[in-house]
Amino acid sequence: MKIIDNLKDGYEILKENNISSYKIDCEILMSQTLNISREEVLLNLEKEMKEEEKEKYFNYINRRKKDVPIAYITKNKNFWREKFIINESTLIPRPDSEHLVEQALKLIKKDKSKRILDIGVGSGCLSISILKERPYCECDAIDLSKNALKLAKINANLHQLSDRIKFYKRDVDNFYNGKYDLVISNPPYIKKHRIKYLGAINYEPKIALDGGLDGLEVIRKVISKSKYLLKINGKLILEIGYDQKYKVMSFLREKSFFINRIIKDYGNNTRCIVSTNKN
Ligand SMILES: C[S@@+](CC[C@H](N)C(=O)[O-])C[C@H]1O[C@@H](n2cnc3c(N)ncnc32)[C@H](O)[C@@H]1O
């Protein structure tokens, strides 16, 4: 059978299973199957597929029809300007988190050397994206999850940054390794009881999502701890949930942070707060 025929069969299967992005998903899975770009798939629609290629493609389709996220099937995800290896032990990097990278790059000039801490490093997408563009900076990265750290190390190796990023399996509560110029964090911030309603996101590790009863448990820890981990005038760049702005701002002020910027995401929700450790 030709590529086009298998694509069409894939569309039907995913459509029947209410996968709204069925068209693009099939094309991505076909490109993964044949190890060519999506554009090349579309330029070779009349090409015949081998039996083993067909089998591989429909294995992918059968996982996708159960709502397994594409990134967990293809094992990679583009974020900022890089490609990251992804697996089920980490959150899939979100385009909205690119705002944290953008803000960090605005704060750090290209020729400056700064000490950065990434709290809840996950796949490593934030710190690796920043270090790639700021060659004199160094980063410590912590996470509670051993498997997330394993993957972040693989990504650091892949991007040739192993000498500038150090990993620690640690709770933010128990970490001290000197003072930093910048702390970045995309902590878990979903209310515990909401997690089960999140659909496909349920394939992602709870530890990356669960912000406790009010969704703010880890955010509060990150802010309190950053107070001690940041130099005076050091910056904290924090990702938050769409409805957490006022509570987080008030907690930051309570801890004597000055709020510099509030950034909205692509859906016009407040997603990122930049603040300064004043004293
Ligand atoms: C929302 S994910 C963010 C991952 C990645 N930084 C990103 O932006 O895609 C949060 C990460 O924080 C880690 N984490 C959760 N609680 C933590 C804690 N108390 N201390 C350190 N890391 C924690 C989780 O294991 C998870 O990898």
Question: What CATH number does the domain containing 45 carry?
Answer: 1.10.8
Torsion sign over Cα 258, 220, 91, 11:
negative
Distance (Å) from CA 67 to ligand 1 centroid? 23
Give the pLDDT score at 196.
Answer: 81
Question: Strands 82-85, 76-79: parallel, antiparallel or unpaired by DSSP?
Answer: antiparallel
Residue 41 lies in a domain: yes
For residue 178, the 8-state DSSP code is S
Cα–Cα distance measured from residue 146 to residue 157, given in angstroms and rounded to the nearest whole number: 17
Please tell me whether residues 138 and 207 are part of one structural domain.
yes
Counted domains in the chain: 2
Please tell me whether residues 122 and 257 are part of one structural domain.
yes
Please tell me whether residues 33 and 143 are part of one structural domain.
no
Please tell me whether residues 195 and 271 are part of one structural domain.
yes
Cα–Cα distance measured from residue 29 to residue 132, given in angstroms and rounded to the nearest whole number: 29
Please tell me whether residues 155 and 28 are part of one structural domain.
no
Residue 129 lies in a domain: yes
Name the residue of 218, 224, 240, 272 to mutate for ligand 1: max ligand atoms within 8 A of Cβ: 218
Domain with 138, as residue range(s), is 88-277
Please tell me whether residues 153 and 21 are part of one structural domain.
no
Please write the tens of the pLDDT for every residue from 113-170. Answer: 999 999 999 999 999 999 999 999 999 999 999 999 999 999 999 999 999 999 999 9
Find out whether the beta carbon of 129 lies less than 6 Å from any atom of ligand 1: no
Residue 132 lies in a domain: yes
Boundary residue ending a domain (12, 38, 67): 67
Residue 198 has pLDDT above 90, yes or no: no
Q: Quick one: tokens of 276?
A: 């300064």
Please write the tens of the pLDDT for every residue from 243-265. Answer: 999 999 999 999 999 999 999 98
Contact 165, 217 (CB under 8 A): no
Distance (Å) from CA 13 to ligand 1 centroid? 35
Distance (Å) from CA 224 to ligand 1 centroid? 16
pTM greater than 0.75: yes
Question: What CATH number does the domain containing 92 carry?
Answer: 3.40.50.150
CA distances from 180 to 92, 113, 116, 137 (A): 26, 11, 6, 11
Q: How many helices (H) and strands (E) does the chain have?
A: 10, 9
Residue 60 lies in a domain: yes
Please tell me whether residues 138 and 212 are part of one structural domain.
yes
Find out whether the beta carbon of 241 lies less than 6 Å from any atom of ligand 1: no
Q: Specify the residue with its C-alpha closest to ligand 1, atom 18.
A: 171
Residue 18 lies in a domain: yes
Distance (Å) from CA 120 to ligand 1 centroid? 3
Please tell me whether residues 101 and 237 are part of one structural domain.
yes
Please tell me whether residues 59 and 134 are part of one structural domain.
no
Residue 201 has pLDDT above 70, yes or no: no
Find out whether the beta carbon of 277 lies less than 6 Å from any atom of ligand 1: no
Give the pLDDT score at 118.
Answer: 98
Please write the tens of the pLDDT for every residue from 35-94. Answer: 999 999 999 999 999 999 999 999 999 999 999 999 999 999 999 999 999 999 999 999
Please tell me whether residues 133 and 206 are part of one structural domain.
yes
Q: Specify the residue with its C-alpha closest to ligand 1, atom 14.
A: 120
Please tell me whether residues 113 and 28 are part of one structural domain.
no
Q: Which stretch of 95-99, 102-106, 182-186, 198-202 has the lowest confidence by average pLDDT? A: 198-202
Distance (Å) from CA 69 to ligand 1 centroid? 19
Cα–Cα distance measured from residue 62 to residue 147, given in angstroms and rounded to the nearest whole number: 26
Find out whether the beta carbon of 96 lies less than 6 Å from any atom of ligand 1: no
Please tell me whether residues 128 and 237 are part of one structural domain.
yes
Residue 82 lies in a domain: no
